[in-house]
Amino acid sequence: MRQNLTAALTLRTETMHSGAMGSLFSNAKGLQAAEILAAPCVIELADFSPQSASFIMNILLYKFHSYLSRQPESSQLNRVIVVEEAHNVFKRTLSEENGCALSNEYFDKMLAEIRSSGTGLLLSDQRASLLSEAVMANTSVKILHALTDSEDRKTVGASANLSDFQLKKLAEFRPGECVVAIRGQHGVQHAQVTAPAGEQELHSACHICTTRFRCRRNAVKSMLAGMDSTRIAFHVSKIQAEPYNVALLERNITNMLRDLNVTASDATKICLLGEILDTYGRSSLQEKRIIVNSYAKYLKRREEHE
């Protein structure tokens, strides 16, 4: 039995020393909760598996709760924490004795207590039926967009007190159309959310851009317009053929930029790479982001050695 336990623990810990998890936990020091919550911050977990992302989200929320519980009470909204794919943390479970249920119990407590520190918690999910019952009970505002799954509609319908007619309409909503239910107010509000005028869609490099308030996309698009599309498509096919071979990926991207006579700052090169991948690439957004991240890390390493 001891050997089995040792083997199981070894296997579990090995996953934290390799791949994306390894790069995350191999640092002796990291950002503290106070530093993360002090300024606008986005934590991107797209490169991790669903299990790893869930594990990391649990750790982060535990750290946030531990920090916020020591802060003085406040009636003002000081910060907002947004959790996407919230069912990875606040997951509905049928048994009350498994590890997921114990985790839910802790985070349910956090959900009820965190507001006293002036912290708002915004939970976003496409599958309402996967969320724990405490999420429905402890959230004051619910914004319901189109839901095609009957179980999802049934779950939100009970919490927002929707009629059968309103539940049926949820399945017919267009993009941006929603129902808003606010605790303490009678009935619900029907709303249409529109995108801000002039806002352009983000591409696969925007998530790591350090100059968002001085966007380079217009300049990059002008550069791209004067380039040979056939040559670009050829290089992109080589880049996407080996997205996980870091050394080959770096070489292919460098060769592409050299062939296209690109002489620009590193930030512009990263932006151009994202624009090229979105225009000519055929892989998923996650894979495009992996390519962009790998090249950005390569540029950073090169800068440190110069």
> In this structure, are 301 and 250 located in the same domain?
yes
- Residue for token digits 């934590």? 43
Rounded to 10°, the helix 266-280/285-305 angle is 160
Tell me: the pLDDT tens digits for 232-284?
999 999 999 888 888 899 999 999 999 999 988 888 999 999 999 999 988 88
Residue pair 111/81 in contact by the 8 Å Cβ criterion: no
> In this structure, are 298 and 222 located in the same domain?
yes
Q: Where among 125, 158, 192 does a domain terminate? A: 192
Alpha helices by DSSP H, 15-147: 19-25, 33-37, 50-68, 99-113, 133-138
> In this structure, are 91 and 239 located in the same domain?
no
Does the structure show a pLDDT above 80 at 112?
A: no
Question: In the predicted model, what is the mean pLDDT of residues 114-130?
Answer: 88
151: left (phi over 0), alpha (psi -120 to 50) or beta: alpha
Q: Look at residue 1 and tell me if it is in a domain.
A: no
Taking alpha carbons only, the member of 50, 117, 115 closest to residue 84 is 50
- Residue for token digits 């794919």? 85
Provide the pLDDT for residue 43. 83
> In this structure, are 82 and 166 located in the same domain?
yes
Supply the pTM of this predicted model.
0.64
Taking alpha carbons only, the member of 229, 250, 236, 220 closest to residue 283 is 236
Count of beta carbons in the 10 Å neighbourhood of residue 176: 12
The bridge status of strand 141-144 relative to strand 177-182 is antiparallel
> In this structure, are 171 and 39 located in the same domain?
yes
Question: In the predicted model, what is the mean pLDDT of residues 195-214?
Answer: 72
Tell me: the pLDDT tens digits for 6-43?
877 777 677 666 666 666 777 667 778 888 888 888 88
Provide the pLDDT for residue 143. 93
Higher pLDDT, 162 or 203: 162
> In this structure, are 110 and 247 located in the same domain?
no
Q: Look at residue 219 and tell me if it is in a domain.
A: yes
Does the structure show a pLDDT above 60 at 99?
A: no
> In this structure, are 95 and 186 located in the same domain?
yes
Q: Look at residue 3 and tell me if it is in a domain.
A: no
> In this structure, are 157 and 65 located in the same domain?
yes
Tell me: the pLDDT tens digits for 32-82?
888 888 888 888 777 677 777 888 888 888 888 889 988 888 888 889 999
- Domain enclosing residue 82, as ranges: 31-192
Taking alpha carbons only, the member of 84, 132, 88, 85 closest to residue 112 is 132
> In this structure, are 224 and 93 located in the same domain?
no
Q: Look at residue 20 and tell me if it is in a domain.
A: no
Q: Look at residue 18 and tell me if it is in a domain.
A: no
Q: If you count DSSP H runs as helices and E runs as strands, how many of each does the chain have, helices first? A: 13, 5
Does the structure show a pLDDT above 80 at 1?
A: no
Decide: helix, strand or coil at residue 204: coil
Provide the pLDDT for residue 54. 80
Residue pair 88/53 in contact by the 8 Å Cβ criterion: yes
Provide the pLDDT for residue 276. 93
Count of beta carbons in the 10 Å neighbourhood of residue 266: 15
> In this structure, are 182 and 220 located in the same domain?
no
Residue pair 73/117 in contact by the 8 Å Cβ criterion: yes
Provide the pLDDT for residue 252. 93
Q: Look at residue 6 and tell me if it is in a domain.
A: no
Provide the pLDDT for residue 17. 67
Burial 233-247 (b: 16+ CB within 10 A, else e): eebbeebbeebeeee
Taking alpha carbons only, the member of 128, 113, 36 closest to residue 82 is 36
Give bridge partners of residue 301 from the DSSP assignment: none
Contacts of 254 (CB under 8 A, 6+ apart): none
- How far is C-alpha 54 from the geometric centre of its chain's CA atoms? 11
CATH number at 96 reads 3.40.50.300
Q: Look at residue 23 and tell me if it is in a domain.
A: no
> In this structure, are 152 and 225 located in the same domain?
no
pLDDT band at 191 (very low <50, low <70, confident <90, very high): very high
pLDDT band at 96 (very low <50, low <70, confident <90, very high): low
Q: Look at residue 185 and tell me if it is in a domain.
A: yes
And the tokens for 209?
A: 């851009």
Tell me: the pLDDT tens digits for 130-184?
888 878 888 889 999 999 888 999 888 888 888 889 988 898 998 889 999 998 8
Q: Where among 134, 164, 192 does a domain terminate? A: 192
Count of the separate structural domains present in the chain: 2
> In this structure, are 178 and 238 located in the same domain?
no
